[in-house]
Structure 1
C-alpha cells in the first residue's frame, strides 16, 4: 500500500475539495495518479446530472479512485445521491451533521464517508456515526474554518478520543510541506489534507493571479467579511491583500447584497455575477476586478514558493517526509 497509506490509497496525502470549483477533474486526477486522494467539490446547489458528468470526466483522466466533497450547509441531497449512484470511492462532508443515516446510506452504496471536523464534540459525533476516517481541521486552515482550536492542540485530543478504533485521522490546517507532514504524524495522524498547497499547482482551476498571490504573499487573516449574505456565520481565513486591508472593518450589518458587480465567472454549470465582498474566489474563467475578490489561503502560505504540478507536490511530500525521518529522527530511536 505504500508509505503511510490510508483508506486503501497509496499515500497519506489528501487534496482538499477546493471551492467553488478550484479542484476540478484535472487536479483531482493528477493527485490520484500520483497515489494520493483527490476531492472534487460538489456545487453549492443541487445539480446531480452535472455532478455525474464531472465525476465521469475525472474518471476519463484517471483509473484510480477519488472522492467528492459536499458542504452540508447548502442544498445537497440530490448531489449526494448522484455521488452514491456513481459509487465514488469517498464522500467527504463538512459544515453540518454527518448523521448515522448518511453514513449507513453511503456504506450501503459501497462508498466510504469522511467528515471534516473542527472540534472534539464534532469528532465524538463522527465516531458515533460510524465514519471511515476523520479529517481534523485546525484554525490555521484556509477558506471556511469551523473550529477555533489550533491543529497542534486539537489533533492529539481526537487521537486520544479515537483510541484503538480503526478510524484513520487526517490532519488539516497549515500543512504545506514535508515538515508539516512529519509533525502531523508525530501528533498521531495517519495522513494529511492540504488545500492551499494544491491550489498553487498547474492543474488547479484557480485564476493565475490568485495562484501568484499564494506564492507572493505570506500573511493571512481570520475574518467574516466575505459572503455574509450567502453563507452567514461562516468565518474564513483569507490572504491579507490590499483590498482586504481596506474592507476588513466594515460594519457587521453590511454584506455583498447591494454591492456593485466587480466581475463574472462560470462556476460549475452556472454563469455567476461576482459582487464586491462576495465569498467567491476567482477561478480560471473569472473576468473583472480580480484584485478586489476574496482569496482564501491557510496560515502557512508563506512557505509556498512556486507553482508546481500536483504530482510533484505529492512526490515531494512523501520523499521529503521519508528523508526527514531518516536523517533527523533515526538516531533518536
Structure 2
C-alpha cells in the first residue's frame, strides 16, 4: 500500500510544490525528515542562482532526499539546468509542453521525474516520455487546476493505463486526511499528493491570515477570476468576501486595472500585489492581506488546526493503517 513508500521514499505521501514560495526550505525539510516526498517550488521566471541557493539552503536543514517543482508554462530552462547540476532526488513538472528530452536529461543526472497531469491523454504522454511516476490532479484540487474530472472517475482510468508499465500513480485533489488517503488507495493509487493540508502547517511560508482562513472557511469554488493577465488558468479558491464580490468579473477584465492592495517579497523579489492578482500572501505580505487570493482544495473543511508538517505525515500514515485494519479488514 501507499504508506510503504514509492520511488525510494519511506511513504507514498507527496507534499505538493506550493507557489509562489509557500513550500520553502523549512517546510520541505520538515516533510523530508518525516519520510515523505517534499518539493520546493522554483520561481515562475528564470533565476538559476536563486534556485541553487534554495536547494542548498534546504540541504542545510535535512540530509534526506527531496524534490523541486517546475511549472513548464513559465520560463524554466536555466532553472532546470541548475536542478540537474544539484542532483535533487525528484523533479516534478506540470502544465506546459513536456519534452521527452527532459526526462532523459534528468535520468542521466540520477533524478526521478514525476509528471502531474489532469487527464488520461496527458498521462499517456507522460508514460511515453518515460516518467517515473504520475500525479493525477482532479478538479477538487486547490490552486491552479489541471483536472476537469472528479478524482473518483479520473484516477482509476489512469491507474489502469499505468499498471502495464509499473509506474506509480499518485492521487491529488481534495485529499487532506487519512480517510482521503485510504479512499485514493482503494481506487488504485500508490500514494497521495497534498497541497492545502501542508499550507496549513507550522513550517509553511504562508501568511498567518491565509493559514487562519483555511480553518475558518469550508467552501471553495472553481473559478478563473484571479490573475487572468499573468496565468489565465482555472483555479480553486476559498469563498472569501473578495471572491464573492468579484466572482462574476466579465471575461474581458483582469487585475491589470485594479489598485495595488499590498506588497510581498516573492522568491527574493519585492512585488506589488493588485486586487484580483493570482498571488497568495506569503509570510512577507503587507497591506490588505484579507483581500488577497486564498487558494484551497475542496477538502479544506476537514482541516481543523495548524500542525507541524511531521505530525501531518505521521497522522496520515498511522490513521490510514487504523482505518484499513479496523474498517476494511476482511474476515
TM-score, normalised with respect to structure 1: 0.98
For residues 317 and 147 of structure 1, the distance between their equivalents in structure 2, rounded to whole angstroms, comes to 24
Q: Can you list the C-alpha shifts for 1:268-325, whole angstroms capped at 9, x where unaligned?
A: 0210000111000000000000111100000010000000000000000000000111
The 5-angstrom pairing of residues 1-333 of structure 1 reads 3-232=3-232, 234-330=233-329, 332=330
Please, which moves more after superposition, 192-201 or 100-109? 100-109
For residues 63 and 104 of structure 2, the distance between their equivalents in structure 1, rounded to whole angstroms, comes to 26
Pairwise CA distance, 1:98: 2.2
Moved over 3 A (4+): none
Is the contact made by 1:25 and 1:61 (CA closer than 8 Å) also made in structure 2? yes
Q: Can you list the C-alpha shifts for 1:168-188, whole angstroms capped at 9, x where unaligned?
A: 111000000000010010001
Note the residue ranges of structure 2 that are not aligned, 5 or more in a row. none
Note the residue ranges of structure 1 that are not aligned, 5 or more in a row. none
CA distance 1:55–1:101, change in 2 (3 Å): same
For residues 288 and 307 of structure 1, the distance between their equivalents in structure 2, rounded to whole angstroms, comes to 23
TM-score, normalised with respect to structure 2: 0.99
Q: Can you list the C-alpha shifts for 1:160-204, whole angstroms capped at 9, x where unaligned?
A: 111231211110000000000100100011110000000000000
Pairwise CA distance, 1:2: 9.3
For residues 89 and 96 of structure 1, the distance between their equivalents in structure 2, rounded to whole angstroms, comes to 22
Is the contact made by 2:3 and 2:191 (CA closer than 8 Å) also made in structure 1? no
For residues 298 and 324 of structure 2, the distance between their equivalents in structure 1, rounded to whole angstroms, comes to 24
SS of equivalent residue, structure 1 residue 159: helix
Pairwise CA distance, 1:28: 0.3
- Aligned residues between the structures: 331
For residues 16 and 163 of structure 2, the distance between their equivalents in structure 1, rounded to whole angstroms, comes to 25
For residues 65 and 100 of structure 2, the distance between their equivalents in structure 1, rounded to whole angstroms, comes to 24
- RMSD in angstroms over aligned alpha carbons? 1.1
